[in-house]
A and B are shown apart, each in its own frame.
Chain A
Amino acid sequence: MTVKTNRLGGSALTVLTWIVALLFVFPVIWMVVTSFKHEVDAATDPPTFAFTPTLEQFTTILDRGFLPYLANSAFVTVLSTLLVLLLGVPAAYALSLAPVKQTSNALGFFLSTKMLPIVAAIIPLYVISQNLGMLDNVWALIVLYAGMNLPLAVWMMRSFFLEVPTEMIEAARVDGAKLPTVLYRVILPVVAPGIAATALICVIFSWTEFFYAVNLTAAQAGTVPVFLVGFITSEGLFWAQLSAAALLASLPVMIVGWIAQNHLVRGLSMGAVK
């Protein structure tokens, strides 16, 4: 009896899981489907399911100058993430494996920079950018995004560094390694999956960032989220075009995430101790 009830419960759980999963993925599927519709089919109420698929929306988007925005997004995302890693890895090392008296204060300070809502800082940031002549400039976004992601990245990487066995670092020191060698040839390979996860988070946050971008950029340095807003016009919504643009905007993140997940689960630190 109990086995039967368990099996029944198991099936119910499976069905429930599927329903929840579909509920979550439905908007994404709807976006994909809509992006292949003609604008007329996309705007019907009730929605049409039978339609002739077309790539018209994608060509329209490309004609409306999507590629420069895509390039801006890619450039800003990659460079700000690299900047975060460049600054964050040594910081995370210092705050985890070489602590001093003020370490916890430094960590607290990092966290506190995330407590101020971005909107509260946007006017000073705008004025500063303007005075520096950095408005509508990708480099301004790179610096801001790096600053935005750095505290979180340091905290994340610190937690991975803390899991590195102390004896392994000592073994490397006895083996004759100086600090940079210890860091780059012993510690980093072991925490690589953690660094990859951190980088992925930074990529996603930079790629999807909207508020700084919409306020500080225009035609020159605009990123993909800024481009998407262009479809919300006074003449109405262009659902099919918006969906096509949104699909193109989310594809890179999905691809990066899919590639990264295989690397992320690799438990490299297994076997280090015992």
Chain B
Amino acid sequence: MAQVAYAGASRVYPGANSVRAVDGLDLCVGDGEFLVLVGPSGSGKSTALRMAAGLEDVDEGAISIGERDVTHLPPKDRDIAMVFQSYALYPHMSVRDNMAFSLKLRGMPKSDIGGKVEEAAGLLDLTTYLDRKPKALSGGQRQRVAMGRAIVREPSVFLMDEPLSNLDAKLRVETRANIAALQRRLATTTIYVTHDQVEAMTMGDRVAVLRDGVLQQCASPRELYDTPRNVFVAGFIGSPAMNLLTLPVDGGAVKLGELEVRLPAPAASGEVTIGVRPESLSLVGAGEDGFDLQVELVEELGADAYVHGTLAGHDEKLVVRADGRTPPRLGEAVRVALRDTGEVHVFDPESGLRIDAD
């Protein structure tokens, strides 16, 4: 058990125009915590994870695991286990040998190794497959072997690099829950990289959002969703994405069509970016307080329907969550109301930073 701390850690790829893949990352993962690193591709999330693993150099700053500075230690001296996206199983070894490999290298007595492997296999429902080679396993089983290989070592930290992205949708949801449950049970500090924000929200104790190598926000899933610190986090977390509109300020308020929305705090410039989640909007009867929306696309998901449309008199696109049983028709004009002005997020259009009431 240990905490992992990045202190101004950077990874700079050398070259004519050097790239800062991870730029001055300050992040502390608590003992036993499940931290998810999320971001679009190229955001540096995998690089950050690999820096903790020792597979990527730390060019500036430091990384410590527990009380130890591991910045320049090789992977084997960091007491970590890693699960790779491709699983990276040893194809010439049976499931048993795959899991036992690290223990053998450590010189653990054979009898102890057998016990540990059996125990991990039991935990992951792999007991009947122990003598098979990886190629005789399904994708889900291979994924579990990769997990097993990490578990048997009882490391202080698990590092997982998109371990579910090679599974089909149904299995992914199932395995997602299993990994989260397993982590709670073992209480091992875990850093988990994903580009899937649903995985991030459902699995993590805390979620760290990265963009272009820079940490945007690190908070609990609820906090990220309710109070995104900037426009990027606001747009990245949530599906479908938050509606973001840049509008002129007039007397401490902005106008969404006919609807006037009062700003919680005075804006610095003449414009603000406001963010409204699709579920903060609802369809109402004509004549009620709200604004008109020209329907362009309706996505029916069963319980809900997402109505995409254009704000009447503007070019701005909006998405509204509606009841799945009575969705509007294409081309129709509908009346949209705001559920609560408190659910409107306000950002500075220049810096992208959140503007709060105080």
B-binding residues in A (CB < 8 A): 165, 167-168, 170-178, 181, 186, 189-190, 192, 268-274
Judged by a CB distance under 8 angstroms, whether B87 is at the interface is yes
Interchain CB contact (< 8 A) of B91 among A170, A176, A181, A190: A190
A-B pairs under 8 A by CB, number: 86
Interchain CB contact (< 8 A) of A167 among B85, B102, B137: B85
A273 engages B88 (CB within 8 Å): yes
A-binding residues in B (CB < 8 A): 53-55, 74-76, 80-82, 84-92, 101-102, 105-106, 133-137, 139, 142, 149, 153, 166
Closest to A175 in B: B102
Q: Which residues of A contact B105 (CB under 8 A)?
A: 175-177, 181
In the complex, what's the smallest C-beta–C-beta distance from A187 to chain B, in angstroms? 10
Could you write out 7 A-B pairs with CB less than 8 Å apart?
A167-B86, A173-B55, A175-B149, A175-B153, A273-B87, A273-B88, A274-B142
Docked Cα-Cα span, A250 to B82, in Å, equals 51
Interchain CB contact (< 8 A) of B76 among A176, A271, A272, A273: A176
Q: Which residues of B contact A269 (CB under 8 A)?
A: 91
Q: Which residues of B contact A178 (CB under 8 A)?
A: 76
A165 engages B88 (CB within 8 Å): yes
A174 engages B82 (CB within 8 Å): yes
B89 engages A271 (CB within 8 Å): yes
A270 engages B135 (CB within 8 Å): yes
Q: Which residues of B contact A273 (CB under 8 A)?
A: 86-88
Q: Which residues of B contact A177 (CB under 8 A)?
A: 76, 101, 105
Known: A177-B76, A177-B105. A171 touches B91 (CB 8 A): no
Closest to B153 in A: A175
Known: A171-B88, A186-B90, A271-B91. 7 other contacts (CB 8 A): A170-B88, A172-B90, A177-B76, A271-B89, A271-B133, A271-B134, A271-B137
In the complex, what's the smallest C-beta–C-beta distance from A170 to chain B, in angstroms? 5
Closest to B150 in A: A174
Docked Cα-Cα span, A272 to B134, in Å, equals 7
In the complex, what's the smallest C-beta–C-beta distance from B329 to chain A, in angstroms? 44
Docked Cα-Cα span, A177 to B104, in Å, equals 10
Known: A174-B75, A270-B135. A165 touches B55 (CB 8 A): no
B80 engages A190 (CB within 8 Å): no
**Max chain A Cβ within 10 angstroms of own Cβ: one of B89, B153, B166:** B89
Interchain CB contact (< 8 A) of B88 among A168, A181, A189, A268: A168
B91 engages A268 (CB within 8 Å): yes
Q: Which residues of A contact B87 (CB under 8 A)?
A: 273-274
Docked Cα-Cα span, A170 to B135, in Å, equals 20
Interchain CB contact (< 8 A) of A270 among B80, B84, B91, B142: B91
Q: Which residues of B contact A274 (CB under 8 A)?
A: 86-87, 139, 142, 166
**Max chain B Cβ within 10 angstroms of own Cβ: one of A167, A170, A175:** A175
Q: Which residues of B contact A167 (CB under 8 A)?
A: 84-86, 88
Docked Cα-Cα span, A53 to B88, in Å, equals 59
A-B pairs, top 10 by smallest CB distance, nearest first, are: A271-B135, A175-B102, A167-B88, A171-B88, A189-B92, A272-B91, A176-B76, A273-B86, A176-B105, A271-B134
Closest to B82 in A: A174
In the complex, what's the smallest C-beta–C-beta distance from A98 to chain B, in angstroms? 14
Docked Cα-Cα span, A176 to B54, in Å, equals 12
Closest to B102 in A: A175
In the complex, what's the smallest C-beta–C-beta distance from A169 to chain B, in angstroms? 8
Closest to B136 in A: A271
Q: Which residues of B contact A176 (CB under 8 A)?
A: 76, 102, 105-106
Q: Which residues of B contact A190 (CB under 8 A)?
A: 90-92
Interchain CB contact (< 8 A) of A171 among B84, B106, B135, B166: B84
Q: Which residues of B contact A172 (CB under 8 A)?
A: 90, 101
Q: Which residues of B contact A268 (CB under 8 A)?
A: 91-92
B75 engages A173 (CB within 8 Å): yes
Docked Cα-Cα span, A272 to B133, in Å, equals 10
A174 engages B55 (CB within 8 Å): yes
